[in-house]
Amino acid sequence: MIATRNRTRRAKMISRPALATLCGCGIVWTLACGQAAPAPRPTPARNLVLITIDTLRADHVGAYGYRQARTPALDGLARGGVLFEQAFAAAPITLPSHATILTGRYPPGHGARDNGLRMSATVPTLATVLHSRGFKTAAFVAAFPLDHQFGLDRGFDVYSDQLGRGPDGRPANERPASAVVSEAIAWLGTVGALTHSGPSSDPADPSGPAHPADPARPADPARPAGPAPFFLWIHVFEPHAPYGADTTRPVLDRYDEEIATVDREAGRLLSALGDRLSDTIVVAAGDHGEAFGEHGEYAHSIFVYDTTLRVPLIMHVPGVAGLRGEPRARSVADAVTLADVAPTVARLLGAGMKDVDGIDMTPAITGAPFAARELYAESFAPLVEFGWAPLRAIRRERWKYIAAPKPELYDTSKDAGEQTNLASISESVAHRLDNRVNRYSAAGLGADAAAEPSASERLRALGYSGGARRDEGGSRPDPKDRREIAARIAQVTSGELTGSALVSALEAIVRDDPRNGQARLRLGYARLQAGECARATPEFRAAIDAGLVSADAYLGLATCLGQANDLDGAGRALAGAHRLEPDNPAIRANLGILQAARGDTAGAIRDLQAALAADPNLHEARFNLALVYARAGRRSDAAVTARELLSRLPPGAPARSEVERLLQSLR
C-alpha cells in the first residue's frame, strides 16, 4: 500500500524645509507655529504590494521597540509610512488569517476556519475586486497551507505555489523567501512595473543594496504613466518553526535570524520597485504570532491570547507620512484587525469591498481617531485537530473576552499579558461580551474540505493537522485544561523530534488524552514509518473511533492491513477513505495495489494509470505499475514505466537503486 507519508509532500509588505522657512525657524513646523498641521491626504495610488510574513510577532520588529531586531527593511518602511501599534489577527493560524487579510471578513464569513478548509468560492477578495478593475494580479506564496486548492487563488492572473522538490524527489511543503522574491521581481518586469535602472534583483549580486534606501523617495517626473496597475502579494515563511538547523542554539536567537532573512528579502523587493513606490501602496503584515511558552503554548493555533494574535502591520501610503517629509512614522494607537486591510487598500485604490467585517482605516491613516468598535478572533484548530472546544474572542475598548467552557475576561488596559481572569468578578461585562461574540460565530465550519487530495498529510508535515472536520456540538474539553498536552503536541509538531523520541512523545500524549484523534493518527504514522504496522493498526482504529474524520486514518489502516495480508479489511478501509476523498489519486493507487494483490491485473493497471494521470508525482504508484506490468509479462511497458520514474527522481534519491534493480531484471 502507498502510505500517506509517501503521498504527502505532493499528493502534495511644499516640503518640510519650505514649511519651516515659512515660520522663520528650522524646527518642526507644527510645534514652531503652535498649531496642528492639516492631516495629509493620500495621493492617488495606482498599485499595491502586500507582504505577509508568517508567524511574525510584533515585538520582534525594530519599529515596535525590539532592541535586538535586525529588521532594517521593515523599520525603514515604518519610518516612511503608517505603523499600527495594536494590530490583531482574526485567527492564530496561516490560512484563516490570510483569508481574512484578502477578504476583509472574519473566518465565519469566509469559511476557511482552519488550515485545510477551503475558502468559500463566492466571497469577493482583493484580487477579484482589483482584477475586475483592470489590475494585473500575481501572488507568490512560500508554503503549502496557502496552496491554490484552498481558494485564495481566485482573481490572480498568476498564483505561484510551486514549492520545488525535496531530496526524495517529491514536491516540498515550503520554499525560501529568496525564491519567492526572485519570482516576484521577475513578474514585475514582465508587466512593466520596473521602469527604472535600480539595483540588482539578483540575491547573489552584491552590487545591489540589501535594503531600500527609503520607500518615501520622490517620484521621477520623467517616468511615464506606465502600463496597467498591479497588485502583487508575496508570502514568506521562514519565521515559522522549525527555526534554523542548529537546535543547540536558543530558539529566540534562531527565530530572530529567520526574521532577519525575510526582512532582507522584503528589502530586496522594495529596492527593486524603486521609483514605483511613489505610486504604490505597500502593506507589510504578520499573519499571526508565536507563543514561545507564554500561556503554556509553545507554537500557535490553539489559544487566542495576544501572544499569537498581535502582529506587525505597517503601511506605506503615497501622500502620507514620509512622502510629505515627516521625520517619523505616523503611528495609530487604536486597535485594528487584519480584516481592515482589504477595505482600506481597496478604498485607497478607488475600489470598494462590500459585506466586510473590517473597516476603512483611511481616516486613522490621515490622523482622525477611530470610533469605538469591537474586534473578533477565533481558533477552531482545537476542535478540528484535537476534538477540544473551539475558542472565540472579542475585544471592545479595554476588555477582551474569550468564550470557552471556562470563560475568560481581561482588562487589557491594566493586564496586557492576560494573566488575571476577571470573568467571575465582572460577570455583567462577561455576559454582555459573550452575547456579542455569538453574533460573529454562529456560522458552522462551513467551508469544504481540501479541494485536492493529500492536503492533511502535507499540512501535518508542517506541524498542522488541518482539514479533518468534526461536529461542533457537544461538551468538549477546554483547551486550557489540555495546556500541558498542547505543549507536548507543539513539541512533536515542531519537526525537531524523530524516530523513537517522536514515538515516545506521542505515546505519552495518548496516555493522557486517549480520545485525541490527531495524536493517535500521528502515532500510527510514526509507527508505520518505523515498520511497526502491527502496533500502528490500533492507533488508526482509535483515531477513527475518536471521531476524527480523516481519509489519512483510513489509508494508514488500509496500508497496515494490506501488509498483514488482510485484503478484505484493507478493502473496507480504502472504501472509507474513498467516501471521504473520492477524487484522491493516492486512494485510487492503493485500490490498484489491492487489485494486484487479489490477482486482478487489469483492474490494478486501470487504477494505477488513473492515479498517475491525476498526479504524475505519485512515485510509488509508478513503481507499482512497473511491477504489475513485469509480473504480467509486459516487460516493455514495465521498462518504459521504470525509466519514466527514474527521470522524475533526483540524483541520490533512495528509491533510484530499487528502480535500477528492476530495470536490470527486465534486460
Q: Give 462 or 58, the one with higher predicted confidence.
A: 58
Q: Where are the alpha helices (DSSP H) in 546-666?
A: 551-563, 567-580, 585-597, 601-614, 619-631, 635-648, 655-665
Task: Say whether pLDDT at 11 is over 90.
Answer: no
Residue 650 lies in a domain: no
pLDDT for residue 492: 83
Report the C-alpha dihedral over residues 211, 254, 380, 302, rounded to 10 degrees: -140
Render pLDDT for 489-534 as a digit per residue (tens, 0 to 9).
Answer: 888 877 778 888 899 999 999 999 998 888 999 999 999 999 999 9
Q: Give 39 or 284, the one with higher predicted confidence.
A: 284
pLDDT for residue 321: 53
Report whether the peptide linkage leading into residue 124 is cis, meaning its omega lies within 30 degrees of zero: no
Q: What is the phi/psi pair of residue 666, to 5°?
A: -90, -5
Task: Say whether pLDDT at 611 is over 80.
Answer: yes
Task: Say whether pLDDT at 636 is over 70.
Answer: yes
Cβ neighbour number for residue 452 with a 10 Å cutoff: 19
Q: What's the pLDDT band for 55 if we cut at 50, 70, 90?
A: very high
pLDDT for residue 326: 45
pLDDT for residue 224: 41
462 three-state secondary structure: coil
Helices 585-597 + 567-580 axis angle, to 10: 160
pLDDT for residue 3: 39
Q: What's the pLDDT band for 241 if we cut at 50, 70, 90?
A: confident
Distance in angstroms (rounded) separating the CA atoms of residues 573 and 538: 13
Bridge partners, 174 (sequence order): 143
Residue 18 lies in a domain: no
For the chain, the domain total comes to 1
Distance in angstroms (rounded) separating the CA atoms of residues 314 and 66: 15
Render pLDDT for 365-406 as a digit per residue (tens, 0 to 9).
Answer: 877 878 889 999 999 989 888 889 999 999 999 999 999 999
Render pLDDT for 286-333 as a digit per residue (tens, 0 to 9).
Answer: 999 999 989 988 889 999 999 999 999 999 998 775 433 444 468 999
Q: In one letter, which amino acid is 214? A: D
**Of the candidate ranges 95-104, 164-173, 646-655, the one whose mean pLDDT is the lowest:** 164-173
Cβ neighbour number for residue 131 with a 10 Å cutoff: 17
Render pLDDT for 410-452 as a digit per residue (tens, 0 to 9).
Answer: 999 999 999 999 999 999 999 999 999 988 865 444 444 443 4
Distance in angstroms (rounded) separating the CA atoms of residues 305 and 402: 9
- C-alpha cell at position 210: 540589501
- C-alpha cell at position 6: 509517501
Please report how many Cα atoms fall inside a 13 Å half-sphere around the Cα of residue 479, on the Cβ side: 31
Residue 2 lies in a domain: no
Residue 597 lies in a domain: no
- Residue range(s) defining the domain that contains residue 247: 47-370
Task: Say whether pLDDT at 546 is over 90.
Answer: no
pLDDT for residue 27: 24
Distances from the Cα of 216 to the Cα of 75, 96, 103, 184, angstroms: 13, 32, 28, 21
Please state the rounded mean pLDDT for residues 225-232.
82
Give the largest Cα separation in the chain, rounded: 97
pLDDT for residue 10: 29
Percent of the chain whose pLDDT exceeds 70: 81
pLDDT for residue 474: 52
| 348 neighbors 362 (Cβ within 8 angstroms) | yes
Distance in angstroms (rounded) separating the CA atoms of residues 661 and 297: 49
Burial 9-37 (b: 16+ CB within 10 A, else e): bbbbbeeeeebbeeeeeeebbeeebeeee
pLDDT for residue 534: 94
* Whether the model pTM is above 0.75: yes
Distance in angstroms (rounded) separating the CA atoms of residues 416 and 401: 13
Bridge partners, 84 (sequence order): 332
Task: Say whether pLDDT at 46 is over 50.
Answer: yes
Residue 185 lies in a domain: yes
Bridge partners, 409 (sequence order): 401
- C-alpha cell at position 133: 478593475
- C-alpha cell at position 667: 534486460
Residue 97 lies in a domain: yes
Q: Where are the alpha helices (DSSP H) in 494-550?
A: 499-512, 517-529, 533-545
Bridge partners, 231 (sequence order): 48, 137
Distance in angstroms (rounded) separating the CA atoms of residues 414 and 408: 15
| 50 neighbors 101 (Cβ within 8 angstroms) | yes
Residue 552 lies in a domain: no
Residue 623 lies in a domain: no
Look at strands 82-88 and 330-337 and give their pairing.
parallel
348: CATH: 3.40.720.10
Reported as type and span, the H/E element at residue 155 is none
pLDDT for residue 199: 42
- The full length of the chain comes to 667
- C-alpha cell at position 456: 492533511
Q: What's the pLDDT band for 41 if we cut at 50, 70, 90?
A: low
Please state the rounded mean pLDDT for residues 333-357.
95
Q: Which of 13, 54, 47, 360 is nearest to 226 (CA)?
A: 47
